[in-house]
Amino acid sequence: MPSALPHSRQIRLASLLVLVALPLTLSGQDSIEAKFRGSIDTANIRESMRRLSARPHHVGSPYDKDNAEWMLARFREWGWDAQIESFDVLFPTPKDRLVEMVAPKRFRAALFEPPVAGDITSTQTDEQLATYNAYSKDGDVTAPLVYVNYGRVEDYEELARRGISVQGAIAIVRYGSMWRGNKAKFAAEHGAVGCLIYSDPKDDGYGDAAVFPAGPMRNKDGVQRGSVMDMLQYPGDPLTPGVGAVPGAKRLAVADAPTITKIPVLPISYGDAQPLLEAMTGPIAPENWRGGLPITYHLGKGPAQVHLKVTANWETKPLYDVIAKIQGSTYPDEWVIRGNHHDAWVNGASDPISGMAPELEEARAFGELLKTGWRPKRTIVYAAWDGEEPALLGSTEWVEQHESDLKTKAVVYINSDGNERGFLSAEGSHTLEHFVNGVAKDIPDPESGVSVWKRLQARRILNGSPESRAEARTRPDLRLGAMGSGSDYSPFIQHAGTPSLALSYGGEDEDGIYHSVYDDFYHYTHFKDTDFAYGRALAQTMGTAVIRLADADLLPFEFTNLSDTVTRYTTELQTLLRQRQDTIRDQNRAIDEKLYDVVRDPKKTAVPPEKKEVPPALNFAPLVNATAALTEAANRYHRAADAATARLASSPEIVKAVNARLMQSERELTDQGGLPGRPWYRHLLYAPGVETGYGAKTMPGAREGIEQGRYAEAEHEIARIAEALQREVRLVDAAAGELERLGK
């Protein structure tokens, strides 16, 4: 299906774009940015995607290395100081894979994605990595099935209320809603002996559109590969936690690696899942557990017995991170870093090349600027990470290896990981919220003719709660999302405390080829950003951000948005505690009054919930005080920075000193002790949730303490967060004090 955008409209938009990108009067800096944005060429993005996705290029594959070397050559050709940095990591690849139903009838799962007509790369079966979940433990089990929906904590609670346990069973889980590693982990924690993860057609199959190749969605054979490592302990090489996986690094034995699953796990298609689910009996799945297959979803356990066998080649493989630099003219030891990964599960046109190809085009455009004599004031570092798919391997090992450099030199890390048509999606450090809004206001949207900021604002005004809609109209900056995990920004923000951003476009295309062989050039150029207009928009957004950060006199960090955000988080925590108190109190009373027994249907099993401890009141005072102090300090800094704007050139030493403080502002929000139970994660404001995996938890130590009923820990964490905020207050106050000298 070719783009539905008529050619005439494309031309009109292109002209508009030039108008927006090249206003008549330009300052020097604006002119650099405009030149940069004007030189981004969609044909180059398309050609990079074609080249990089032409063959399977997973970690350890020939084409993975070939791509790295090709990119290295391009960076050098464009004038960058580039090299490949290598690490040796544990990366298991599939050996034996068997899913066979042995009762009530026999059925053997195909575990294979066949080539489809018209799509040439889908025929590269020799080089494709078979469908599997990386870092699954080896195993060979035969057991009945239990359907556990998305396999979340609340899903197991729901099962328990129906008297169903996965003890001794194979959990059959559907993909979606949560990091897949947690599906395997929670299944094991509840006693399952194996885990099958399948793609339900309701989630990314025929529900949303026709299936591939007729349409973009997952067909009955499509399988989502993916890592099932317990990355909530730590990402990266399982054998070298906290340090770079370089020669001589201390390595754990595979058997001792804590992030490998405790049970065998395998992903399957819905074509393979349907006979298994159909053979199940037991209670009927709750309404919101039911998928899109034309069957009655049962919970089990029943007669359906499955033999699951999984073994891997447990080998060490090399990673090839491509690291390219343009040395800063004024502040060479201040790094603006931007990255995207280059490895894929198979051909990976969408994931990751739709983000990698724009990055390369940015690099080429920087090369063009270099030819005109321009030099950034700060050093620009462009990274093409290897091994993101298995476990954020390339970025994590690099961050762990270069941690001391990053602590002193990193200004910002900016990540992408794929791109589609639609709306700007932005997550990151709230000290950069105002900055990102500024960038977005200067990027023309390819489809609407307004800026990408205006378009995003329009969407937020039209959707959401009345409060957030009203806010989208009146708040000068659109809110930035908090960072969870799932891509290469994670080690930067959460381990090293580097201020970070993750940017992409999306929201208009549906697809169901994630981590399958069908995520390829044919699919992308038929169903997604087919003319690469949003690939260009991403490159323009990233490049504009990098130029502004690299050339800013005073780094564009802003603390009023941080204090506003932190105030919201504080209020949320208090509300969460109150709601939890009310809910538990209510539920305990209902249990005492036997209301659950009274309402239960005797034809169905229903186990009343168990009484829980009512959360005590917690001391939020330190956090409330720290938040108030941060608001004061942020306002002071804001006034001082405003007043100093015109005088920055007069005292470069002061500016440099202020910048040095600003570069430490994110690190003040971290703590070397890390979060409770997961010391690798050091940021006290943002983390992936232990129970969600991808999804962010803000003020995670306190929030998860409350959510999971560890109230003393929560109170302790509230105090730690308050201390971090007080450190931030001192930093901001000191920076403001210095700027005030300048402003006088």
Binding site for its own copies (CB under 8 A): 3-5, 9, 201, 206-210, 215, 217, 284, 287, 290, 292-296, 421-423, 447-448, 450, 454-455, 458-459, 461-462, 466, 469, 508, 582, 586, 590, 593, 595-604
Give min distance, CB of 448 to its own copies, in A. 5
d(CA 44, CA 47): 5
| Closer Cβ to its own copies, 441 or 604, answer by number | 604
Q: Could you tell me the smallest distance in angstroms from the CB atom of residue 409 to its own copies?
A: 40
CB 195 within 8 A of CB 171: yes
Q: How far is the CB of 617 from its own copies (least distance, A)?
A: 20
Contact 395, 339 (CB under 8 A): yes
**Residue found under tokens 């476990």:** 391
SS3 assignment, position 190: coil
> 407 or 454: whose CB is closer to its own copies?
454
Query: Least distance to its own copies from the beta carbon of 538, Å?
Result: 18
User: Which CB atom, from 50 or from 454, has the smaller least distance to its own copies?
Assistant: 454
Neighbours of 611 (CB within 10 A): 13
Q: How far is the CB of 161 from its own copies (least distance, A)?
A: 12
Task: Pick the closer one to its own copies by CB: 333 or 593.
Answer: 593
Cβ-contact 637, 557 below 8 angstroms: no
Q: Where are the alpha helices (DSSP H) in 97-190?
A: 153-161, 180-189
List the structure tokens of 91: 């990366």
Q: Which is nearer to its own copies, 572 or 582 (CB)?
A: 582
Residues 133, 204, 218, 391, CA torsion sign: negative
CB of 603 to its own copies, least distance (A): 4
Q: What is the CA radius of gyration of the chain?
A: 26
Which position has the token pair 């074509």? Answer: 271
Q: Which is nearer to its own copies, 256 or 508 (CB)?
A: 508
Q: Please choose, from the candidates 333, 266, 281, 340, the residue with its C-alpha nearest in 3D space to the C-alpha of residue 104.
A: 281
Phi, psi values for residue 709, rounded to 5°? 80, 25
Residue 65 or 421: the one with the smaller Cβ distance to its own copies is 421
Distance of closest approach, residue 12 Cβ to its own copies, in angstroms: 11
Residues ≥6 apart with Cβ < 8 Å to 622 = 718, 719, 722, 723
Q: Angle at the Cα of 141 (from 136 to 142), degrees rounded to 5?
A: 140
For 503, half-sphere exposure in the C-beta direction (CA atoms, 13 angstrom radius) is 33
Whose CA is closest to 135, among 225, 200, 61, 223?
225
What does the H/E/C string look like for 683-713?
ECCEEECCCCCCCEEECHHHHHHHHCCCHHH
Comparing CB distances to its own copies, the nearer of 96 and 586 is 586
Q: Which of 299, 296, 276 is nearest to 100 (CA)?
A: 276
In sequence order, which residues have a C-beta less than 8 Å from that of residue 621 and are 6 or more positions away? none
Cβ proximity to its own copies: between 422 and 615 the closer is 422
> Which of residues 3 and 625 has its CB atom nearest to its own copies in the complex?
3
Nearer Cβ to its own copies (59/211): 211
β-partners of residue 310 are 97, 139
Smallest separation (angstroms) from its own copies to the CB of 696: 25
Nearest residue (CB) to its own copies, 200 versus 389: 200
Q: What is the DSSP string of 231-289?
A: TTT--S-TTSTTS---TT-----GGG-TTS-SS-EEEE-HHHHHHHHHT--SSBPPGGG
Q: Rounded to the nearest whole angstrom, what is the least distance from the CB of residue 13 to its own copies in the complex?
A: 9
Q: How far is the CB of 620 from its own copies (least distance, A)?
A: 23
Residue placing its CB nearer to its own copies in the complex, 292 or 481: 292
SS3 (DSSP) at 510: coil
**For its own copies, the closer CB: 11 or 595:** 595
Phi and psi, residue 339, nearest 5°: -145, 165
What letter represents residue 51's amino acid?
Answer: R
The minimum distance between CB 535 and its own copies, in angstroms, equals 16
Least distance between its own copies and beta carbon 162 (Å)? 14
Closest distance of CB 479 from its own copies, Å: 18
Q: How far is the CB of 678 from its own copies (least distance, A)?
A: 34
Compute the least distance from the CB of residue 175 to its own copies, in Å. Answer: 17
Closest by Cα among 373, 415, 384, 376 to 541: 415
* Tokens found for residue 1: 């299906």
Q: Which is nearer to its own copies, 288 or 372 (CB)?
A: 288
The answer to whether 377 and 331 have CB atoms below 8 angstroms apart is yes
For residues 300 and 390, which CB has a smaller minimum distance to its own copies in the complex?
300
* Cβ proximity to its own copies, 298 vs 301, nearer residue: 298
Query: Which amino acid is located at 484 in the chain?
Result: G
Cα angle 370-371-376, degrees, rounded to a multiple of 5: 15
Residue 59 parent element (H or E): none
Strands 81-103 and 139-147: unpaired
In the chain, how many H helices and how many E strands?
Answer: 24, 16
Residue 48 Cβ vs its own copies, minimum distance, rounded to whole Å = 24
Nearest approach in angstroms of CB 530 to its own copies is 9
- For residue 298, give the DSSP letter: B
What is the per-residue burial (b if ≥16 Cβ within 10 Å, else e) of 557-574? Answer: bbbbbbbbbbbebbeebe
CB 677 within 8 A of CB 663: no
